[in-house]
Amino acid sequence: MVLEEVIITLLAGFYDRDASRAFVSGNFTGDGLTDSLQGLSSSEVNSIVDWRKFYFERYMFAGKLIGRYYDSQGNPTKYLKGVEVKAKRGAQLLEKQKSEEAKIPSCNSKWSQQEGGEVWCDTGYPRLVRRPGDIALTGQISQRCACFQEDELNKPGLVTYEGCDHLSKSCKVN
């Protein structure tokens, strides 16, 4: 398929329908082209609301699509109000996570195809630590690399990189 055909196929998926879920799922086919946000995390719903804001600010308003979010008079439905509440909660959780993460400095990192990856701390020691509030935000658990001082290394939940010395300030990573 040439680029023009791909673009036309994608645009056809959005013609005369609300396909909000595709913005966060990346699924631009069949069941992904739906307005249902059921099962999405508050962070994902917040992303969709941010997309809506982006389009309202940059494109000429043409009208409202009657359906799940707007009734036949163009008024917001209860479902849209619920989505906006969930998105607001997602934005609050994201801000809280950023605030918590700012308390512990992140590792420096680099990666190249020849040498692989490396993480290091200018002061402290690199450790993997669970992201606070991640389950509420994304529905999944993830970790980030953060720098800890020697007296903090016995904190529960800190993970030393595989193959890295306990007191190394730099670690090779896959």
Sequence-distant (6+) residues with CB within 8 A of 46 are: 86, 87, 88, 90, 91, 94
User: 172 falls in which pLDDT band (50, 70, 90)?
Assistant: very high
- Residue found by looking up tokens 């023009």 in the block: 4
**33-65 pLDDT, tens per residue?**
888 888 888 888 888 888 888 888 888 877 777
Distance CA 84, CA 96 (A): 18
Residue 9 has pLDDT above 70, yes or no: no
**136-158 pLDDT, tens per residue?**
556 667 788 999 999 999 998 89
For the whole model, what pTM was predicted? 0.56
Domain boundaries, the chain: 3-98, 105-173
- Residue found by looking up tokens 């800190």 in the block: 158
Question: For residue 136, what pLDDT is reported?
Answer: 57
3-state secondary structure of 119: strand
